[in-house]
Amino acid sequence: MPVAGYDEKRQARIDRLNKAAEKRRSEADQKMASADAMFDAIPFGQPVMNRRDANYRQRARDKMDKAMELGKEARDLERRARAAENNKAIFSDDPAAGELLEEKLARLKKRREVMKSANVYVRKGDRAGLAELGYSERLIDQLFTPPWENGPIGYPSYMFSNLGATIRGIEKRLAEIEKHADDVTSEVMVGDVCIRDDVDENRIQVFYPSRPSDATITAFKRAGFHFSHANCCWQRLRKDGVFQYAQRLVKSMEEVSPFGETPRSAETEP
């Protein structure tokens, strides 16, 4: 089932981050233990005896610095794993994105209507009406308490503006999903480079038969492409015009000067 595949890929990313964090943590512990053992071998208070002793102490300090660096990397990977696990955002490559966005849109529109009704009751001073809407006494008190002296009561206008902007953003995403609902995966060859518009992956992918030049790598990074070790290609999210742009970029890189400069035609992207 497509959704299961998406969930498996999401969990695989979390697992990779946790595994990488565990590896960094283990390496950091080993480096720190080695540094501690080296420092323990130096008699307390003993001054530097000679160059060999100075080099020995420097190696111990280098190991300690490396342990600190690895520890920082481990903490960063752990943070990213937790963020990925707790992320409730709806991503476009989720096969259920349309359904989830529809549900979110309905919730937000309902919230907006409730807020409008609440403001009507606030203007009337009708606390009973607010209670019928499901507001607790604490929330009712907050609605009748102005944010500053002589300020407005009820929901302020900026909350409606922010909510409206969120609703319009979701409606735009839904229109985009509907627009591409019948898209199918396609690919073209530019020389020996395969460029694929992968609908299932929701990525524009560029497959080189071998490692491209440094200039090509730089150009792809500038264009928003990232190398996927899982798919062994350069890729970025699908977007109108990116498939054609990737083809132009690959063609332009065939004309790179001997000095490895990126041609100007490769600088313009959709």
**pLDDT tens series, the chain, 270 aa:** 344 467 777 888 899 999 999 999 999 999 999 999 999 998 888 888 899 989 999 999 999 999 999 999 999 999 999 988 888 777 766 777 888 899 999 999 999 999 999 999 999 999 999 999 999 999 999 999 988 887 889 999 999 999 999 999 999 989 888 888 788 899 999 989 999 999 888 899 999 999 999 999 999 999 999 999 888 999 998 888 899 999 999 998 875 544 444 444 445 566
Instruction: List the domain boundaries for the chain.
Output: 2-86, 97-179, 186-266
Spatial distance between the Cα atoms of 3 and 234, rounded to a whole number of angstroms: 24
Predicted TM-score (pTM) of the model is 0.61
At residue 5, the pLDDT reads 67
Closest C-alpha to 194, from 231, 148, 147? 231
pLDDT of residue 201: 81
pLDDT of residue 48: 87
Q: What pLDDT shows up at residue 256?
A: 52
Give pLDDT, residue 270.
65
- Please tell me the distance from the alpha carbon of residue 166 to that of residue 109, in angstroms, as a whole number: 10
**Which residue, 256, 204, 264, is CA-closest to 234?**
204
Whether the Cβ atoms of residue 255 and residue 263 lie closer than 8 Å to each other: yes
Give the model's pLDDT for residue 255. 58
